[in-house]
Amino acid sequence: MNGQRTILDHIGNTSLLALCRIVPENGARILLKLESENPTGSMKDRMALAMIEAAERDGRLKPGGAVVEYTGGSTGVSLSLVCAVKGYPLHVVTSDAFSREKLDHMKILGARLQVVESESGRMTEKLTRDMIAAAGQVAQETGAFWTNQMKNRDQLAAYHAMAEEIWAQTEGRIDAFVQSVGTAASLRGIAEGLRRRSDRIRIAAVEPAESAVLSGGAPGAHKIDGIGAGYVVPLWQKDLADDIERVSTEDAVAMALRLAREEGIFAGTSTGANVVAALRMAERLGPDATIVTVMCDTGMKYLKGFGARLG
C-alpha cells in the first residue's frame, strides 16, 4: 500500500452511547458500544484484520496466497473486506441459515461462497460442524490459509484493544460487561482486557436459551445470527464469565425491534440479546451501576428477516 491509508485504518475507535429510553427501572446506566461504525457495520472487522495481519507477519499468509473460512456471515463479510483491500482471494463456507444480506455483501466484496444447506434455516451444532469440515477440506486441497476463527487466538489482541477503548471512554467507571458468545473471542478478549484494569468488573456471557450449552443445557436450534454454535467452543474458558444469561430468539428479536423504535438504533438480534441480558444485570447491580454491552452489528444486515416478521 506504500504507506497509504485505506478503509482498514478506520476499524475500531467506535462510540459508546448511553441508552435513553430502554433503561432499568432502578436507574442504572446501560452503555452500548456502537460497533456498527466499523466499515462493514460489524465488530468482526476488528478480528478479521487481526487474524490476517498476524498471519502476514509470521509467514502463514504469503503474498499471492489465498484465505478460507467458515462463517455465519459477519466474519465472512469482514474477511471479504480485508482480503479485498489486501488482494487475497477468499473462499467462504457459509449457509442458507444466515441472512441473505450478509451472503450478498460477501460476494459484492469479491468472496467465493460455498453454501451448506441447513435444517429449516436454523443454526444447529451439526451445521457448525459441517461448515468447519468443509473449510478444512478446502484448506487441505488448495493450500489456502485457514483463519479458523473458532480456534484462532490472534484475534484476542483486537479485543484487548477494544477493552482499552471501553475503559478510556468510561473513565474506568464500569461495573459490568455483557456480551453474547459466538466463538467466545470477543467476550474473552474484552474480559481479559478489562480485568487487567480492575478485577471487580462483573462479566456476563449471553447465549441462546434454545441452545444453552455454556450453562449446561442441551444443544438446540435457534435463529440468533452469529452466536450459539451448539457446543462449547474452544476459546471458551469456564472462568471467563461470572454470569451466563440465557436469552430466547423471541426476546432477542423483540428487543432489537424496541431498540429501533425507541432508541433509533437498528441492530441485529445478537445485540437484542445483549441488551436483554444487560437489563437483567442492571437490576441485580443496583441504581449506581454502569453496564457496558455491545451493538455487534447493524440491522441492515438482517432487513429481509425483520421484514418477514413485520408482515
Count CA atoms closer than 13 A to 304's CA, side-chain side.
Answer: 8
Helix axes 249-258, 269-285, angle to 10 degrees: 90
What span, in angstroms and rounded, lies between the C-alpha atoms of 205 and 177? 9
Q: What are phi and psi of 10, to 5 degrees?
A: -105, 15
In terms of DSSP H, where are the helices of 41-179?
Answer: 44-58, 74-86, 100-108, 125-142, 156-170
Cell of 137: 477440506
Residue 180 bears catalytic tag: no
Residue 99 bears catalytic tag: no
3-state SS assignment for residue 231 = coil
What span, in angstroms and rounded, lies between the C-alpha atoms of 98 and 101? 9
The owner of cell 463456507 is 93
What span, in angstroms and rounded, lies between the C-alpha atoms of 20 and 31? 10
What span, in angstroms and rounded, lies between the C-alpha atoms of 82 and 54? 13
The 8-class DSSP code of residue 173 comes to -
Cell of 156: 484476542
Burial track 59-94 (b if 16+ CB lie within 10 A, e otherwise)? eebeeebbbbbbbbbbbbbbbbbbbbbbebbbbbbb
Planar angle of CA 265, 184, 92, nearest 5 degrees: 80
Catalytic-role residue among 42, 80, 95, 270 = 270
Catalytic-role residue among 33, 44, 102, 301 = 44
| H-helix or E-strand spanning residue 95 | strand 90-95
Question: Which residue type does 93 have?
Answer: V
Catalytic residues: 44, 270
